Structure 1
Amino acid sequence: MNFLLDTVQTSNMNPVCKVKYLPLEVTDNSLIGSIDKILYQNKHFYILDKSANMGVLIFNENGKFIKSLYKLGEGPEEYIAPIDFDVDATGNIYIADNARQKIIRYNANDFEKYDEMELGCYFMEFAVIDEEHIIISEIYDQGRIKDKLAVYSRKDGKIQSLLKSTLKEIDEQKVPRGSSHYLYRSGDKVYFYQRFTPEIYILNGKTISLMANILSDKYFKEVELKTLEGNPQSFMTDMKHIKDINAFYETADGYFCSLSTFPLPQFLGISKTGNNIYNLNLIKEDRLLGNLIINGVAGNYLICTSDYNEETVNAALKINGLDENTAQMFANWNEDSNPLLILFQLQH
């Protein structure tokens, strides 16, 4: 699929048709310091917290706390620095420990049961594709990105390159990231965005396929990026270019895409019927409480999160049509509460 971004029209309809607010239960073991990544699998929310917990917290679809995985340490079943995580179809949790260049799989029913995969390389992200294959992204060698994507085979312990960087003269580590990650899981499907290109890939076992081109004249050219190496301020305040695609998720009705642009992000909807693409005006949607970073997808709902502050509560209580139970939930929200999940559906 090819889409011409620069000629996309803005939809006149309100893009958000349904919103749900989900408070996450607070217990002595479930306080969240930061939501660094969130996945919805097996009707549960899995949250990676790299600050307070250095582990994964699990909540059911109603926000009730189930349990947490915390294995910080230097033992054989432990990790030193959890850089990323994933969850497979049976609920097993995988945590990447970049300090030890390995991925640990913890059994869904008993976290004391585990197995380790020694990758022998540094990388930024990964996604479990099936029982045998794990896709890893941004593999580093001598301080530079060697491969954008590669596949690790659990069967033979080998890594095979799948995608090289299109940038030959640029050190990407010196160019700020406009997104916290570039692998996007929607249920059992995983997509990957190749930075500074229009390319969206879908990951299939030990192969990848080009799924879409979001075409535009606003991507940085390599010669332009060269002038921005080591100059984060100029990169972040640039108003002419697309810095990143920082979300690409699939729902039952279509696809959602978020572009990192300054001063405000741009949001796109792509319908599955006719492959129509259109701009979404989410900035004026007061039910999202000003949260414009899309963190994931849960079934047919997109996910964003909101930390507590008094100004947000006051804004929430002014939303038209707020039912009594939701209004009471916001009134009870306080500085000791966990972040709130905001789940919303789009009209396509």
Structure 2
Amino acid sequence: MKKNLFLLPCIAAFLVVAVFSACTRGSLHTSYARNQLEINDDSMRFDLRCDSTKYIIDRVIPLSVPERFLGLQCEKMEYVDGYFYLLDKEVNHSVLVFDSLGNFVASLGRRGHANNEYIEKPSDFFVDSKHNRVEVFERSTPRVHIFSRSGKQENFVRLKMWPYAIGITSENNIMAAFDNEEAGGGLQLGIFNHDEELVKPFFEIDCNHEFINDEMCFVRSGDYLYHIPNFSDSVLIFKSDSLVEVKKICFKSPFLTSDIKKKANVGDIEEYMRYEGINGIRNYYETPRYINLSYSKSMLNVNCIIDKRTGSQYQFLTVPFKGFFPAQAYTLSGSTSYWLITKEDVDMIMDLAINKSSSKKEQEKEWSVTPSVVKDLLCKKYGLPAIVQIRFKD
């Protein structure tokens, strides 16, 4: 009996995918723009960090984190309508909300077995500015928890389908991505309302991609929802439930083929690393001023911030600033960037300095180009964790 109960969600998920796949055969949506974005991924550029003359630190915002949330880890950070949202999957199993001054506002759910709790952990979240609420996806259940910004759970949707990831569109519908080989490699997306009624069927898009489960392949920014297919060379951009653009990211390095990637999947890492190239795009979204892009190249995760006004590309493996700057995560909003620094990050940097993992001359050089505000953070003159607000100069 228990075995049959376990099979029911899998059967339901299969039926949902099968029905929607049947509905979409022979129906391709082609009324969208196709554009390209050129990226110079020369590895030498990763070390071209900005000195303090090229950016402005507007302020440091210490976060008043309650004691029960100490050890904060951040897998995703957003700043929307004057509030910071930090997703901590592994340690605190919640989304923490702070106002623009760093005051703690709410914790959106916690681990447990009630309807307003996560059985495992939250997978992703999306801020719905129009309705002043936050929708948190829990893939293992699967459920969508709907919270007010103050932390009160307004509703939850227990999904009958079994997507590996979801996004929330500007029309407050659920975009679900499935891992289904039946459609012959077509990109399978479905847009549903919160009653799980199909609003728009799957799209089959011509782009290089593979389907490997990833819980965070959607990004919401303003009215736009960005979908980054796994191991893909393209980004799908949606607005108002419609696909408006497919943007191909063109790198100077070759985009590694499926055959080469499979070498890593079967454990042949040594053979795989012989090939220097792009594995895929990990993150993408735009603000009115910037494009934020992350991609995987030769086993490295590279971040790239592109200034749309000047065309400047800031590419970096950790942070784009010279000196000691132990940021754990960052986000862009408008023309401003926000960088999270935790006590653990500071302790690690200072421990490396004390243990002299690099030469004293190199340490002194890094310290000399570290802005005074960041030095104060490293010396713990500000409370930690803290968010550093930075603007790049034109």
| TM-score, L = length of structure 1 | 0.77
Matched to 1:227, the amino acid is: K
User: Structure 1 residues 295, 237: closer, same or farther in 2, change over 3 A?
Assistant: farther
Matched to 2:322, the amino acid is: D
Shift of 1:343: 4.0
1:259 to 288, 295, 304: 295
**Identity value in percent:** 16
1:24 aligns with 2:63: yes
Q: Which runs of 5+ in 1 are unaligned?
A: none
Q: Distance in 1 between matches of 2:37 and 2:127?
A: 31
CA RMSD of aligned residues (A): 4.1
Q: How does 1:183-332 map to 2 (within 5 A)?
A: 183-216=218-251, 218-231=254-267, 233-234=269-270, 237=273, 240-262=276-298, 264-273=300-309, 276=311, 278=313, 280=315, 285-287=321-323, 289=325, 291=327, 295-307=330-342, 308=344, 309-313=346-350, 318=367, 320=369, 322-323=371-372, 327-332=375-380
User: Structure 1 residues 149, 338: closer, same or farther in 2, change over 3 A?
Assistant: farther
Shift of 1:231: 2.5
User: Structure 1 residues 340, 249: closer, same or farther in 2, change over 3 A?
Assistant: farther
Shift of 1:190: 2.7
Q: Which residue of 2 aligns with 1:106?
A: 147
Q: Which residue of 1 aligns with 2:359?
A: none
Shift of 1:204: 1.4
Question: Would the aligned equivalents of 2:290 and 2:305 in 1 still touch at CA under 8 Å?
Answer: yes
- The structure that has the greater radius of gyration is 2
Shift of 1:186: 2.9
Q: How does 1:83-102 map to 2 (within 5 A)?
A: 83-89=123-129, 90-102=131-143
Shift of 1:60: 1.4
Q: Which residue of 2 aligns with 1:341?
A: 387
Question: Would the aligned equivalents of 1:219 and 1:242 in 2 still touch at CA under 8 Å?
Answer: yes
Q: Which residue of 2 aligns with 1:153?
A: 193
Shift of 1:237: 4.3
Q: Distance in 2 between matches of 1:236 and 1:339?
A: 38
User: Structure 1 residues 280, 65: closer, same or farther in 2, change over 3 A?
Assistant: same
Secondary structure in 2 matching 1:94: strand
Secondary structure in 1 matching 2:390: strand
Secondary structure in 1 matching 2:114: coil
Q: Which residue of 2 aligns with 1:134?
A: 174
| TM-score, L = length of structure 2 | 0.69
Shift of 1:160: 4.4
1:56 aligns with 2:95: yes
Secondary structure in 1 matching 2:378: helix
User: Structure 1 residues 100, 330: closer, same or farther in 2, change over 3 A?
Assistant: same
Q: Distance in 2 between matches of 1:215 and 1:193?
A: 15
Q: Distance in 1 between matches of 2:268 and 2:124?
A: 24
Deviation per residue, 1:138-188 (Å, 9 max, x gap): x24599998553322226633744345879996635xxx7xx733233344
The number of residues matched between the two structures is 336
| Higher helix proportion | 2
Q: Which runs of 5+ in 2 are unaligned?
A: 1-34, 354-362
Secondary structure in 1 matching 2:67: coil
1:2 aligns with 2:10: no
Deviation per residue, 1:110-157 (Å, 9 max, x gap): 61x4222232233343322235412233x2459999855332222663
